Amino acid sequence: EVQLVESGGGLIQPGGSLRLSCAASGFTVISNYMSWVRQAPGKGLEWVSVIYSAGSPHYADSVKGRFIISTDNSKNTLYLQMNSLRGEDTAVYYCARGFPHFYWGQGTLVTVSS
């Protein structure tokens, strides 16, 4: 059974850093398109980033240069390193598998506030 479990969210001050994790089971992350999608409170979905072993990662313009997507194959886990966080980064962050997103995690809330 495919499962995606995000963790690492929380309250962080503006300018701070946070790393989100997405533990996968039932498949191998390295063989799949893996993405991060976020949703600000009461707002729509915003695609953030995608990684696939065969190519370079891609990022939305809103996070490019600040966020880094990566995988740890030994842990079968997807990560999102978020630096220079801003208030507008406050959102539930979902990891998703596939092209497009056939499977989703339950999400982890990131709140950027002083």
* Residue ranges that bind another protein, judged by CB under 8 A: 35, 37, 44-47, 50, 58, 60-61, 94, 98-102, 104-107
Nearer to another protein, 67 or 94 (CB): 94
CB of 22 to another protein, least distance (A): 12
Exposure string over 76-100, b if 16+ CB within 10 A, otherwise e: bbbbbebeebeeebbbbbbbbbeee
CB of 114 to another protein, least distance (A): 27
Nearer to another protein, 83 or 104 (CB): 104
Q: List the structure tokens of 71.
A: 């995988």
- Which among 9, 10, 14, 35 is positioned nearest to 83, based on CA atoms? 14
Nearer to another protein, 13 or 36 (CB): 36
